[in-house]
Structure 1
Amino acid sequence: MIEDGFRLGRHSFGANELVVMAIVNRTPDSFYDRGATFDDDAAMKRVELAAAQGARIVDIGGVKAGPGNEVGPAEEIRRVVPFVEAVCERFPELAISVDTWRAEVGDAVCRVGADLLNDAWGGHDPDLAHVAAKHGVGLVCMHTGGAVPRTRPHRVGYSDLMGDVLEQTLGLAQRALALGVPSESILVDPGHDFGKNTRHSLEVTRRLGELTATGWPVLVSLSNKDFVGETLDVPLEGRLTGTLAATAVCAWLGARVFRAHEVAETRQVLDMVASIAGTRAPAVSRRGLA
């Protein structure tokens, strides 16, 4: 495990750096943008904007997380591999993450330059970690409570939620390490909304310090999720304020990577938290000096 910086493929991140991971959905049925970046040109414009707004990682996904039409490995590869290759060529300064749980997809995207495999289904395909080790890329180890890909939680319960989060994520991280994934390239994710109801997601946010204290860099995916909407009783389009509040809390508690739809707003929140924490100087400091 590491307590300082981390590395994803060709890209290094500093000890105190709070990193925005921009979401780019290559699906026609995304819950958030409903296919707005399914077209290649629209998706590339999204990457360009995210980079300009301060994202250092882009997370490209070819299958929506929730239930929907069946998308097989061949179709997922068709949606993401040529796009990953194009983004790597056009934006060499960006780390490229691919949101997939399938080893064959992971292998295909790594062959064209992906730096991180974002396994949002908690090791459902155990061979994905082998792929990360084979290519020397990063791997996200996420808690799902054993949920099956593309299913929603139903009356799920935990005797000790944070104990379960720690057991699964750290177990996956140690397995990845044993398989040869570089220690500086393993991230852990508490899995907000995955295998959890709203109260569970609030609890893992409140207790995130228990995960960050392990020394593994923590990724959180909070953006516009159901736990935000239910907590505030707001529709999808009203979830930004709650998302940013949760982002600030997670940053203060030590999370390092923030998967987000709204890059500019997330970047400002993280910069403000870092400045309050004393790890970032204000952009300007004129007040009281004139």
Structure 2
Amino acid sequence: MMLAMLAGAAVGAGILILVRMAVRPVPGVAATLARVDGAKRRARPRPGAEDGKKPDMIDRWRTSVGERFEDEVSARGWSFTRTRADLAVVDRPFAQHLGTKVLLALAALVWFPMIFTLLGYDPFGVPAVVTILFAVGAFFLPDAELHRDAEKRRRDFRHVTGSFLDLVAMNLAGGRGLPEALLAASTVGDHWAMVRIREAITNARLSGRTPWEGIAQLGQELGVDELRDLASTLGLAGDEGARIRESLLARANSMRRRELADIEGAAGESSQSMLVAQLLMCVAFLVFLAYPAVSKLG
């Protein structure tokens, strides 16, 4: 009875999702603007689009399904702030991420019933519940992988930001003004983080805004708190003429100390993991040695 109720609940939830997807709500102004912005982002040429490599069938399906779901998400006004920030860090489109999630879930729904059928089990009942659980896990698996990759890129970005602050302080010591020092420091190097900072400063300059406003917008887009704090400090210096060179050097040193503390913490966690693995190997070896004697006693 319980399995039948679970199966009925799963079917009802699926029908409800299909109905909600079919019935399009009346979008508000914010949702309409979000859909227009999404269409503009998809129309921009991406860095990997100029190499002449044509996407295969799976990539086309993933893009098509992802764009469909992105339109539905935008029409309902769902923001997904954290996911979009992680995607901005790894430079991956939102539609592609959504398409990957949906296709993985559908593959799990098709693959596991086939496996259970080949093994001789009835695909309904307990295998059906297991299949649904695996489909849910497959749906959220790209989010976990995306967050892990984004955190690695953010650590790399913080490291580059510390070097950027040193370069800005050097340009300020050379007699340049703050906007010119920011632009000159961002032109040193072709690292992806430095390129993003340079693009933010250049776009802010072309749109008539201050460079620290562009840095603040970049920090909000990428989810990097250090950039927002840096923008506040630069805005104070630009508006009130505060002494900024010493402040930038102190902030760079603080970021390096934090990065060193994070590295030491990660090394300590790795050491603990290796110790646990060694203890497990020792326990397994002792069980291997003691099993013949214990079996003869029985």
- TM-score, normalised via structure 2 length: 0.24
- TM-score, normalised via structure 1 length: 0.25
- Higher share in helix: 2
Q: Which has the higher contact order (CA 8 A, sep 6+)?
A: 1
Q: Which has the larger radius of gyration?
A: 2
